[in-house]
Amino acid sequence: MSKLKALLLTQGMHGMISQVEGLANALNLNYKHQKIKLKSFWNLIPPKFTPISLNVLESKFIFDSKVIISCGRKSVIPSLALKKKYGKKIFNIHIQDPKVARSHFDLIICPEHDALSGDNVIKTTGAIHYVSNIEVEKNRNYISLDKENKKIVSFILGGPNKYYNFSEEQIDQVFNQVKTIFTPDKYKIVVIPSYRTPDHIKKKAFNAFSHNNIVYKEVEKKLYLSALAIADFIIVTCDSTSMISEAAITGKPIYVAQMNSKRNNERFLKFYSQFKKLGIIRNLEDRVDLWSYNKLDEVNRISTTIKNKIKDNVTN
């Protein structure tokens, strides 16, 4: 039987793409991406006050799919507009809290720390994503290391967002902390930036770590996957629940490099608390511990349920 076609709607951010692609892959869908950009006025308006119409978009696109998977605030309205037009001929799924009535969607996938509930809501532990253990292992040798009797520490850098500003002082503190704990006689640090890592932080990381370690300035998925594969320990900056969730598929110790938040970060705190209780993460402090936990693979855990719902609800 041929695969169902799916349209993935996001604003183009890496974290959102990881979530919609991860779900589409787990559902074995034939998908294409559509980056959503709203007209300037509607870009400022919350979804609940925006007309359910494709006319709010900057540009039109061809729709020939049976499934819509959307993620992010700007993708809400086009998903609702297409659902309004095609009804039960399509199945629309939104990832994260859509900030509109949940009844507009056939299914909503959200992490437990979003605190949503409803008959059409499926809760996950952390964020779903496109990282798989098979893909991680396939890219293990992409990073070539000299044979040394040292443990590998993969340090995944995020970047500033509306909750964390990555001030010079905070970054210096985190970098010094990492170097103090993971000393060059025992550990080799591999620094991997993300799409949100500013150039000045990449440069600062290079200056701080390049002497005894490996620092990459380019952003590349294969580097990221290889870093997860070769790591004995993983450090992730506190700004990204997505990258922490992705790292949790490895079952390896994950340290979170905490920074002061610039606004209420209650959702982040709930996420950290849940992952600490599950034994997945610990805060980066002043010692190195070794621990393990059950690998977290939420997208495949929920995929069978979603496949059945699509099969039962989509009409020809």
Q: Are residues 98 and 140 in the same domain?
A: no
Residue range 133-176, pLDDT digits in tens: 999 999 999 999 888 899 999 999 999 999 999 999 999 999 99
> What percent of the chain stands above pLDDT 90?
91
Domain residues for 23?
5-130+298-313
Q: Are residues 117 and 176 in the same domain?
A: no
Q: Are residues 200 and 76 in the same domain?
A: no
In 3D space, the residue among 126, 81, 101 whose CA is nearest the CA of residue 92 turns out to be: 81
Query: Is the confidence at residue 315, as pLDDT, over 80?
Result: no
Output the domain CATH number for residue 92: 3.40.50
Q: How far apart are CA 191 and CA 58, in angstroms?
A: 38
Query: Is the confidence at residue 14, as pLDDT, over 90?
Result: no
Packing angle, helices 168-181 and 199-209, rounded to 10: 30
Query: Is the confidence at residue 1, as pLDDT, over 50?
Result: no
Residue 290 included in any domain: no
According to the model, what pLDDT value does residue 147 have?
Answer: 81
Query: Is the confidence at residue 316, as pLDDT, over 70?
Result: no
Q: Which residues contact 229 (CB under 8 A, 6 or more apart)?
A: 136, 137, 139, 140, 250
Q: Are residues 161 and 279 in the same domain?
A: yes
Q: Are residues 64 and 139 in the same domain?
A: no
- Compute the average pLDDT of residues 231-259: 97
Its pTM stands at: 0.92
Report the Cα–Cα distance between both ends of the chain, in Å, rounded.
15
Q: How far apart are CA 273 and CA 279, in angstroms?
A: 10
According to the model, what pLDDT value does residue 255 have?
Answer: 98
Q: Are residues 26 and 159 in the same domain?
A: no
For residue 32, the SS3 value is strand
| Other Cβ atoms closer than 10 A to 195 | 12
- Structural domain count, the chain: 2
Q: Are residues 140 and 246 in the same domain?
A: yes
Q: DSSP character for 27?
A: T
